[in-house]
């Protein structure tokens, strides 16, 4: 998005100009101001993480590690050494899907146990401490989000006055619903094949 560079640069324009730029982007792309701010913070965190741990960031961006938005923000605040411990722990797992939250919880437990006992030379976590691979994680995550989609669709159906909405808004919604319908059909087909 044009103008996003101004939002990403913390040393850039003063706050009022960033606010104006964010509002222009929100208006231009028909998203909320908060959404623009959220992704600006995300972009800053990704840049910071790229400076501190470029290999980990490349794995995250490639989809090898599933790390939610909030966790990217948390990771960016860690020191390079802490980030390296997270990366090492994830690498030991050797699974195609790794949840950052489980790794983070394991690291927090490890840190707590190290402060309560005499320090040892085992800064590298044990493989037995790694979270188990969950083959159902992706499907379960999707199944948990679908009810909110249904609720949103029902709310729009019941509350929106389609006679007063713009043709562009209706067209965008129609396009998105057709795309969703196609994705649902493809997923249903795949489920039935298995």
Interval 4-51: pLDDT, tens: 444 444 455 556 667 788 888 888 888 888 888 888 888 898 999 889
- The span from the CA of 190 to the CA of 192, in Å, is 5
| Band of residue 69 on the pLDDT scale cut at 50, 70, 90 | confident
Query: Where do we find the tokens 């083959």?
Result: 135
Residues with Cβ < 8 Å from 81, sequence gap 6 or more?
none
Which of the 8 DSSP states describes residue 12? S
Q: Identify whether the C-beta of residue 44 lies closer than 8 Å to the C-beta of residue 8.
A: yes
- The span from the CA of 33 to the CA of 1, in Å, is 14
Cα angle, residue 157 at apex, residues 154 and 158 outer, rounded to 5°: 85
More confident residue, 104 or 56: 56
- The span from the CA of 96 to the CA of 151, in Å, is 32
* Whole-structure pTM value: 0.43
- The span from the CA of 48 to the CA of 57, in Å, is 10
Q: pLDDT by residue (tens digit) across 152-179?
A: 899 999 999 989 999 999 999 998 899 8
């Amino acid at each position: 998005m044009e103008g996003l560079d101004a939002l990403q640069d913390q040393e850039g324009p003063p706050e009022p100009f960033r606010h104006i730029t964010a509002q222009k982007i929100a208006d231009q792309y028909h998203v909320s101001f908060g959404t623009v701010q959220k992704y600006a913070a995300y972009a800053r965190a990704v840049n910071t993480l790229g400076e501190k741990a470029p290999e980990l960031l490349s794995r995250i961006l490639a989809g090898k590690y599933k790390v939610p938005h909030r966790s990217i923000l948390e990771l960016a605040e860690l020191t390079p050494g802490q980030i390296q411990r997270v990366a090492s722990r994830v690498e030991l797992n050797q699974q195609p899907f790794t949840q950052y939250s489980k790794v983070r919880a394991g690291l927090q437990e490890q840190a707590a146990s190290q402060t309560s006992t005499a320090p040892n030379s085992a800064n590298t976590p044990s493989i037995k401490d790694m979270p188990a691979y969950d083959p159902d994680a992706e499907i379960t995550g999707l199944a948990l989000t679908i009810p909110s989609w249904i609720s949103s669709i029902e709310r729009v159906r019941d509350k929106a006055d389609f006679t007063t909405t713009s043709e562009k808004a209706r067209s965008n919604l129609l396009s998105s619903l057709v795309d969703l319908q196609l994705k649902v059909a493809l997923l249903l087909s795949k489920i039935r094949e298995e």
